Amino acid sequence: MLVLLFILFLYIRISFSLESLAVNQTIRDGQTLVSPNGTFELGFFNPPGNSRGRYLGMWYRNLLPLTVVWVANREKPVQNNSGILKLDENGVLVVLNGANGSVWSSNMSNKVVNNSITAQLLDTGNFVLRIGKDNVLWQSFDYPCDTLLPGMKLGWNLVTGLNRFVTSWKTADDPAMGEYSVKIDKRGFPQLVIRKGSVNKFRIGSWNGLGFTGYPIQQLKQKQRFKFVFNEKEIYHQYEGIDRSVVSFYLVTTSGNLQVLAWTSKESSRIAIYTGGEDSCDNYAMCGANSICNMDGNIPKCECLKGFVPKFPEQWNMSYWSSGCVQRFNSVCGDDNLGGFLAYKEMKLPDTSLSWYNKTMNLVECQKSCLKNCSCTAYSNLDIRNGGSGCVLWFGDLVDMRKFSQWGQEFYIRVPSSVLDEFEPAAVNGHQNKKKIGIIVGAISFGLVICVCLVILRKRVAARVYNIVPFQWQQEYFKVIKEDMDLPIVDLSIIVKATDNFSSGNKLGEGGFGPVYKGTLTDGKEVAIKRNSKMSDQGLDEFKNEVFMIAKLQHRNLVKLLGCCIEGEEKTLIYEYMPNRSLDYFIFDETRSKVLGWSQRSYIIAGIARGLLYLHHDSRLRIIHRDLKTSNILLDAHMNPKISDFGLARIFGVDQIEAKTKRMVGTYGYMPPEYAVHGHYSIKSDVFSFGVLVLEIISGKKNKGFSDPEHSLNLLGHAWRLWTENRPLELLDRHLLETCNSSEVFRCIHVGLLCVQQKPADRPDMSSVILMLNGEKLLPQPKMPGFYTGRGLPEAISSNQMSVTTFVAR
């Protein structure tokens, strides 16, 4: 019976399938195009878990699960089953919706249109428009989605300017263009990179004749044949399958990893046979400049190149490596001191975007060329086949290197003669005179440095005594921050131009720091600019603290700091722009709150939890935020939550449990009792604030200002009363009643109440919170929350305490 059903299924599919489309011919939803040998099929589909719309896509016809490799209308789905694919009278492929409107087209009007133009799906997976057999007018291979198929070119047509690159899906059920892309960077010597937006995430590296230097593929060579073309007309990578019993392709995932997926005749489902961009050393510039990343088991380790030392040793000792390394001794570049080279083997070559190359030089000529240029810092072969050929030179810092156990490449770094003597004793002869000259020069230089320091110190003391240039101190101070954080300091003129002189039309909002403006930089990039108000409670120390904190933190649920500006009395911070503003903009507004359904709210709760877990446990610095609230949760274009405003944050030591302050700062309604009353704070302080956030997100009500009309309870007390009366779901925002998952809501309320318990010891840490939210851990019964008895200040804070303690409400 099953065999008969399968045969019937195939018959139905075949009966609704076509081999090609002619001018003015269409296929409707339910019909498909099939490649000649039946490998690929093209038609309308729903992504798994997505019932919102239909997409025209291409998939492997006889593989399970459904494996879509190309999508036409990835940004504009067709509703219901009304989609139509048509080859129109202009020789253009169009996807039409139920209203006969175009949601996608091949966007190429052909000058000569005749009935010989056809659209056909080839056995390679290439969907083509052509006249005859060889005259291709348009092809899907020129417009990849998230999949690189055998025979597809990845790279540039330098004649037409066409750039073929692969982009991830937005989510697992949304084929719209995601954050990640795989591209060939044609600057310097071309290299393959994975980018998140415009920022490098993982550098696959340059081609050395056998493979990409950052993505060893030797284990794939029995199944695939690789090709890299680089000439005056084209730069592209391409591969072909060797073993016909294996179906394989490259996929860039929604998380930015590059996978090689494969089916074999023995496998009923696909398997990932290789994944790149997965370990920490794959992260671009993980160890900063002039440093090498090495995976020791599952733990990354960074080490400076020989002759280099950590730029900031204290950070290096805390395993914060991104500041990289600098030369231990300055290299005197001239005819009398050309330095020398040290060899490194089995390496991922440094970033080649600022390199120079020559395809005909040999390695000896390459070395001589590097020695003649004072800015040259390293060299290597361009092609390692047949003993090596070609030359690539690096200038300035060497970035994004790692050590492989095998299959890496050899390259040579330039070091001063003193370092060469240290690491190669046999090379000491011939360097003695140079060393003497170096000692004399070093002594003179040291004396000059001492004199300059004394002059600067004298000027600074005079300035402090006579109070002449107070803001010059800020500029000098933040010059140190710029060097320490490696953070761009932007001219005030650029900020003024970007915000149209801080016009009210560009103002996004205002906080304790001051107003926030939307700005557009000269390259078109939109940013958010926080301008310090002269009346702001946030002083120089808090401004410095925010710069120091967030410049060190990198996580998808933390807002990204792009730069800062310090000129005179102006102090501004430049952040990535969040088009959907902050969480409070939505959940506390009667109209906008309807936009956030339950699935979106639970997603936001989970994202905030992951961001806090990173701050408390996973970042190199253990951070207590101390001002977690809805207005400090920003939402990007995809409604991803990002924690912001680190002006009040503090660093904890690894073994530190809590700290105490006499100056309590933060926001009423989110402060835990132990902090508001006694000034004690810890990671459990943030957990309390997170619990308040959870209950506010669920209810759509503010803790501060909410009052239960019957019992004069704040939001925490109201939630607790509903819990004890076995009516917790009554806390839910009424807009969510019809769309929510009641068990998920119940669990989130339960977790929220656990987080706001009176005693810090009773509250879970964020790692337990995430397990609880995911249903992976049993939940204990919550105890009474803090501040549950009424509105306003906690009863435990007396007027005497208020008179001697400074509270900064933000």
Phi-psi region of 82 (alpha: psi -120 to 50; beta: other; left: phi over 0): alpha
Instruction: Determine contact, residues 732/575, Cβ cutoff 8 Å.
Output: no
Length of the chain in terms of residues written: 810
Which amino acid is residue 489, in one-letter code?
A: I
Q: What is the CA radius of gyration of the chain?
A: 31
Contact 87, 25 (CB under 8 A): yes
Whether 400 sits among the annotated catalytic residues: the reply is no
> In terms of C-beta distances under 8 Å and separation of at least 24 residues, what long-range contacts does 307-314 make, across chains too?
307/342, 307/415, 307/416, 307/419, 307/422, 307/423, 312/484
**How far is it, in rounded angstroms, from Cα 170 to Cα 177?**
5
Q: What angle do CA 686, 687, 693 make, to 5 degrees?
A: 90
Interatomic CA distance for residues 243 and 595, integer angstroms = 51
What are the helix and strand counts (H, E) for the chain?
16, 48
**What one-character-per-residue DSSP string does 31-97 give?**
BEEE-TTSSEEEEEE--TT--S-BEEEEEETT-SS--EEEESSTTSPBPTT--EEEE-TTS-EEEE-
List, in sequence order, every residue forming a beta bridge with 468; answer none if it has no partner: none
For 600, phi then psi, to 5°, come to -70, -40
Q: How far apart are the first and last CA of the chain?
A: 71
Residues 108, 120 contacting (CB under 8 angstroms): no
Distance of alpha carbon 704 from alpha carbon 631, whole angstroms: 13
Catalytic one of 484, 627, 645, 686: 627
Which helix (H) or strand (E) segment holds residue 754: the answer is: helix 742-755
Q: Which residues, other chains included, contact 60 with Cβ-Cβ below 8 Å and sequence gap of 6+?
A: 39, 40, 41, 67, 69, 247
Cα of 298 vs its chain's centroid, Å: 21
Distance CA 527, CA 517 (A): 8
Q: What DSSP designation does 614 have?
A: I
- Alpha-carbon gap, residue 431 to 415, rounded angstroms: 13
Residues paired with 378 in a beta bridge: 394, 413
**Dihedral pair phi/psi, residue 761, rounded to 5°:** -65, -25
Q: What is the 3-state secondary structure (H, E, C) of 130-192?
A: EECCCEEEEEHHHCCCCEECCCCCEEEECCCCEEECEEEEEECCEEEEEEEEEEEECCCCCEE
Catalytic residues: 627
